[in-house]
């Protein structure tokens, strides 16, 4: 490499000029890519409102999480036989997911108490993951017990970031931009960053099992600094109050003193009515489906590949299908922003239920790809629609708190679905039947309320 550099710089004139031209072309190309990316992130007033900074920060967050996922999956799952891998993942769930199931309901209320420090909270979540990634890099090769508490810390910090991000978005909305469109842009940036980080993580893993974690350390360190570039209005809590996901009709949603002196009133979301809670139930079912498919298919396709393919290729087909479906659903959600979110959620549930039933009836490579893509589309559309309903129905004073509580509930649903996936026998037809049952339960509990809400708003002007 050094000899080539000397040849370029000190060799004959044509060679030197060619090297200079290549360097200038690379510089112009990289600069053009950066300018093009910034042009997209700053479009639609996002640059002026500060949303562009959040989009870029979320891309960094997603890239770092992907690098950690690759390192853990390679050690816990791919590097050992299937039986041992299932035991390791079960241990991972026990040591990380079980405590997280207890911590998740606390994350939202805890973050409600630091409304003036959201930038600091996001920076701390990045810094914690940077430190833990560096710590895990030295022990990931042996997958010792000390790896799992660190993985739990990474999981909690990642979910805490997600909760704060959901609460921050309403503060950074550009003029004439709906919340569903803003969330669509943020989510799509994260998906693109994840897709870009995956092959980089694979290449780093070739250098050693800890290399992706050192890469994650660098990414999260940059994210820590980038968190403080968000506008100061992110830390403003003017007009806000805490909220709880309660169903009491007529209860107030403001965390302010009652009209009677010395009598504080308990905050809640009862004043928004049932549609938001029905939408949350539907989203919880789809998030549980996502957790179930992630873990169940990971073991099933590794042990029983489909279509004559190898295990890793079968897993790749399912993963790519889910990623494409999620990206398509996110883009579609922005296009459907003027449609009734209740109807979008219902059609998303019907689509997920149909694909899982088809996969249960005719289990195979094509139907597994279909169910993975369908779950991705349904989850993206329903989450964007839930965000739109919170924007429309929840009073501004409790809106950011509502996002925090709903995100926590959805993450807990993923944990429950993943736990079912890890304990279920590795039978494709049985698994897809269980997946269809999950969606059917959510559909049954939510469809009546969503239909009623959609009919009530049919004669009103659309505001979402």
Task: Name every residue whose Cβ is closer than 8 Å to that of residue 339 and which is 6 or more positions away in sequence.
Answer: none
Instruction: Say how far apart CA 229 and CA 233 lie, in whole Å.
Output: 11
> Average pLDDT for residues 308-329, to the nearest whole number?
85
pLDDT of 107 reads 63
Closest CA to 304 of 85, 82, 88: 82
- CA count, 13 A, side-chain hemisphere, 228: 8
pLDDT at 262: 46
Q: Is residue 238 scored above 60 in pLDDT?
A: no
Phi first, then psi, for residue 102 (nearest 5°) are -80, -30
Query: Pick from 121, 117, 127, 111: which is nearest to 225 by CA?
Result: 127
Going by C-alpha positions, the residue among 433, 384, 371 that lies closest to residue 410 is 384
| pLDDT reported for residue 256 | 40
**Whether the model pTM is above 0.85:** no
Between residues 122 and 160, the one the model is more confident about? 122
Q: Which tens digit of pLDDT belongs to each residue from 76-127?
A: 655 545 555 566 666 666 666 666 666 656 665 666 666 567 888 899 999 9
Average pLDDT over all residues of the chain: 76
pLDDT value, residue 120: 87
Burial label, 260 (beta-carbon count in 10 A; 0-12, 13-18, 19+):
exposed
Per-residue confidence band for 464, with pLDDT thresholds at 50, 70 and 90: very low
Give the pLDDT confidence score for residue 312 in this predicted structure: 75
Tell me how far the alpha carbon of residue 171 is from its chain's centroid: 20
65-70: average pLDDT: 90
**Residue 372: predicted pLDDT:** 93
Q: What is the pLDDT of residues 254-293, one digit of tens each?
A: 344 333 444 444 444 444 457 888 999 999 999 999 989 9
As a whole number of angstroms, the distance between CA 70 and CA 201 comes to 6
Greater confidence (369 vs 107) lies with: 369
- The first and second tokens of residue 343, run together, are 């109807």
pLDDT at 24: 58
Mean pLDDT confidence for 313-324: 87
| Residue 314: band (very low, low, confident or very high) from pLDDT cuts 50, 70, 90 | confident
Give per-residue pLDDT as tens, 2-56. Answer: 444 444 444 456 555 555 654 454 445 434 445 555 666 666 666 777 888 999 9
The pairs formed by 124-127 with CB atoms below 8 angstroms and a separation of 24 or more are 124/157, 125/157, 125/158, 125/160, 125/161, 125/164, 126/61, 126/64, 126/157, 126/161, 126/220, 126/221, 126/223, 126/224, 126/227, 127/220, 127/221, 127/224
What is the reported pLDDT for 377?
93
Asked whether 406 and 281 are in contact (CB, 8 A), the reply is: no
In this predicted structure, what is the pLDDT of residue 448?
Answer: 84
Average pLDDT estimate for 398-418: 78
Return the pLDDT at 311.
Answer: 72
- pLDDT higher at 187 or 236: 187
pLDDT over 70 percentage in the chain: 67
């Amino acid at each position: 490499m050094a000899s080539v550099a000397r040849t370029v710089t000190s060799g004959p004139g044509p060679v030197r000029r060619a090297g200079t031209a290549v360097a200038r072309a690379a510089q112009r190309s990289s600069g053009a890519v950066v300018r093009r990316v910034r042009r997209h992130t700053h479009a639609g007033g996002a640059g002026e409102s500060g949303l562009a900074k959040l989009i870029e920060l979320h891309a960094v967050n997603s890239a770092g999480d992907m690098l950690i996922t690759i390192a853990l999956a390679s050690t816990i799952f791919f590097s050992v036989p299937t039986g041992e891998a299932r035991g390791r993942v079960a241990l991972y769930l026990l040591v990380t997911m079980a405590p997280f199931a207890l911590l998740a309901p606390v994350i939202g209320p805890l973050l409600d108490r630091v409304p003036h420090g959201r930038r600091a909270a996001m920076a701390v979540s990045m810094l914690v993951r940077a430190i833990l990634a560096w710590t895990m890099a030295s022990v990931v090769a042996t997958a010792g017990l000390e790896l799992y508490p660190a993985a739990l810390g990474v999981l909690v910090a990642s979910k805490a970031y997600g909760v704060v991000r959901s609460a921050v978005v309403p503060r950074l909305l550009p003029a004439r931009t709906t919340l569903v469109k803003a969330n669509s842009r943020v989510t799509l940036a994260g998906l693109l960053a994840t897709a870009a980080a995956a092959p980089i993580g694979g290449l780093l893993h070739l250098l050693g099992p800890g290399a992706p974690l050192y890469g994650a350390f660098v990414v999260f360190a940059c994210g820590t600094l980038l968190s403080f570039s968000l506008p100061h209005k992110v830390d403003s809590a003017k007009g806000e109050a805490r909220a709880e996901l309660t169903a009491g009709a007529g209860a107030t949603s403001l965390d302010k003193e009652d009209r009677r002196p010395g009598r504080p009133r308990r905050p809640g979301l009862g004043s928004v009515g049932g549609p938001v809670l029905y939408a949350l139930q539907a989203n919880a079912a789809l998030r549980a489906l996502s957790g179930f498919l992630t873990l169940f298919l990971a073991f099933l396709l590794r042990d029983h590949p489909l279509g004559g393919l190898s295990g890793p290729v079968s897993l790749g087909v399912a993963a790519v299908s889910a990623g494409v479906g999620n990206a398509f659903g996110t883009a579609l959600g922005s296009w459907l922003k003027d449609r009734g979110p209740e109807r979008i959620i219902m059609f998303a549930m019907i689509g997920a239920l149909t694909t899982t039933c088809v996969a249960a009836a005719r289990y195979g490579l094509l139907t597994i790809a279909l169910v993975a893509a369908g779950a991705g589309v349904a989850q993206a559309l329903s989450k964007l629609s839930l965000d739109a309903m919170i924007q429309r129905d929840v009073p501004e004073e409790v809106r950011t708190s509502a996002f925090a509580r709903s995100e926590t509930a959805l993450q807990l649903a993923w944990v429950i679905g993943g736990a079912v996936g890890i304990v279920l026998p590795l039978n494709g037809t049985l698994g897809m039947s269980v997946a269809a049952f999950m969606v059917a339960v959510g559909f049954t509990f939510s469809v009546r309320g969503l239909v009623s809400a959609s009919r009530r708003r049919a004669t009103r002007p659309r505001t979402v």
